[in-house]
Amino acid sequence: MANFLQGKHIVLGVTGGIAAYKAAVLTRLLVKAGAEVQPVMTAAAKEFITPLTLSTLSGKPVISEFFTRNTGEWHSHVDLGLWADAMVVAPATACTIGKMAGGVADNMLVTTYLSAKAPVFVCPAMDLDMMAHPSTVANLRRLESYGNIIIDAAEGELASHLTGKGRMAEPEDIVKTLERYFRNAQCPSPLSGRKVMITAGPTREKIDPVRYISNYSTGKMGYALADELAARGADVIVVSGPVSVKPTQPGVKVVGVESALEMAEKSRELFPQCDVAVMCAAVADYRPAAPSATKIKREGNEPPQLQLVENPDIARSLGEMKQDDQLLVGFALETDHENENARKKMQRKKLDMVVLNSLRDAGAGFGTDTNKVTILTRKDNVSHEFPLKSKAEVAGDIADLIELLYCNE
Ligand code: PMT
């Protein structure tokens, strides 16, 4: 695979937060990927990590003042801004985010930011209350409106020992985002700017106010696809059953639903505006015919009889609505006669492509971070078999084939 970071000039802005220690790993990874890294530190950042660490890892003297005091050498923020192919601010404290949003150019980092012509990636890191404060939220929105790319903070344990949103994105994920950015810039995907809908997760079918019928889907596969397609520039909306996973790519929209009926209604409403739809949700095929309005009590000797009725087949109804310029991709979760069943589903639901996963394969299907898929296409009747991979990598394989089909439509 091409290395899209090779030779790229990255200005790494480091500000004063505990996550500054991660800037060392980030520098190391970027240099390893072939990038030239110029660290720019605020005065506060130097309280958390020494300039010596970053200059050693980057092979460049750290810049932090407008000039070197003993020699009087001037550091041109304009030249630095023009040199950069990208600027990454990691970690970005609430203070620096505020200064960037307001144009408060009182240090080398913010002046470089204001002079930068290249894309700017901002990786917030702070305590959960600061992160949630309307001022921080508004400043981040403002940076987004300037075209900056926010690599969102994650949830987890924070330096304060509180748990919540505010952990800086992991250096590996920041590098991946940069790689994707440069890949898209150099070889734009045919899906760039296209509208993609993905159904993900399970559905819940109410028995009474406290019980439901559902399945083991966690949404991991569907959300990995959403992230992958968004990273290729698609405008992605996920129609999602109840899950705890979240998209990691900026810009992915999520519409939450609970039951198959709700998922069907939302999917049918959105599909006509979409170029591609991927049906990854594990939709309950049946629902209780008459859910009880009150909790069913343990009364009498006989257990209650649950009468079920059929749910709509969402993929099939979209297959009926599908126009020639739309692409419909389905999944098939099988336990036996895998290829035969998947092929039948592809025909019956008028899918252009079906992603088969079998519960007979260890590490495939529900809940795992991995999957093993075979992808069947209708037009050319081809079957592509893949080994066990992470769901993120499987999403990449599916996206590659969607791109191919989309180009050949
Ligand atoms: O969410 P994870 O834990 O990561 O697990 C991923 C997964 C196993 C859920 C995923 O990889 C997967 O296989 N999704 C489809 C599950 C499924 O319901 O398969 P199926 O063979 O029953 O359905 C075939 C196709 O019709 C699927 O595209 C399904 O979304 C769709 N369908 C099914 C029933 C229904 N009423 N409406 C539908 O749209």
Q: Is the CB of 330 under 6 A from ligand 1?
A: yes
Q: Is the CB of 202 under 6 A from ligand 1?
A: no
> Which residue's C-alpha comes closest to atom 10 of ligand 1?
280
- Residues paired with 377 in a beta bridge: 353
Q: How far is CA 38 from CA 81, 189, 253, 352, 366, in A?
A: 11, 30, 34, 47, 43
Other C-beta atoms closer than 10 Å to the C-beta of 397 total 17
Other C-beta atoms closer than 10 Å to the C-beta of 76 total 15
Q: Is the CB of 57 under 6 A from ligand 1?
A: no
Low-confidence ranges of the chain (pLDDT < 70): 1-2, 408-409
Say if strands 373-377 and 383-385 run parallel, antiparallel, or are unpaired: antiparallel
| Extended strands (E) in 20-169 | 36-41, 86-92, 120-124, 149-150, 154-157, 163-167
Q: 157 — phi, psi (to 5°)? A: -75, 135
CA of 356 to the centre of ligand 1 (A): 10
CA of 379 to the centre of ligand 1 (A): 21
Helices 220-231 and 391-408 pack at an angle, to 10 degrees, of: 50
CA of 39 to the centre of ligand 1 (A): 47
215 is catalytic: yes
Q: Is the CB of 367 under 6 A from ligand 1?
A: yes
Q: Is the CB of 358 under 6 A from ligand 1?
A: no
Q: How far is CA 332 from CA 185, 217, 225, 342, in A?
A: 34, 13, 16, 6
Locate the ligand 1 atom nearest the alpha carbon of residue 221 and give its number: 4
Q: Is the CB of 332 under 6 A from ligand 1?
A: yes
Locate the ligand 1 atom nearest the alpha carbon of residue 341 and give its number: 21
Locate the ligand 1 atom nearest the alpha carbon of residue 367 and give its number: 3
Q: How far is CA 376 from CA 232, 341, 351, 354, in A?
A: 22, 11, 10, 5
pTM passes above 0.85:
no
Locate the ligand 1 atom nearest the alpha carbon of residue 219 and give its number: 1
DSSP state of 62: P
Report H helices in 146-302.
171-186, 220-231, 260-270
CA of 350 to the centre of ligand 1 (A): 15
Q: 151 — phi, psi (to 5°)? A: -95, 100
Q: Residue 314: is it exposed, middle or buried by C-beta count within 10 angstroms (0-12/13-18/19+)? A: buried
Output the pLDDT for position 409.
62
Q: Is the CB of 125 under 6 A from ligand 1?
A: no
Q: Is the CB of 285 under 6 A from ligand 1?
A: yes
Output the pLDDT for position 67.
74
Catalytic-labelled residue, pool 3, 70, 184, 215: 215
The DSSP line for 369-407 is SEE-EEEEESSS--EEE--SEEHHHHHHHHHHHHHHHHH
CA of 204 to the centre of ligand 1 (A): 14
CA of 281 to the centre of ligand 1 (A): 5
Residue 370 token pair: 């991995």
DSSP state of 317: H
> Which residue's C-alpha comes closest to atom 36 of ligand 1?
313
**Gap between the Cα atoms of 169 and 175, Å rounded:** 10
Q: Is the CB of 240 under 6 A from ligand 1?
A: no
Q: Is the CB of 205 under 6 A from ligand 1?
A: no
CA of 229 to the centre of ligand 1 (A): 19
> Which residue's C-alpha comes closest to atom 31 of ligand 1?
315
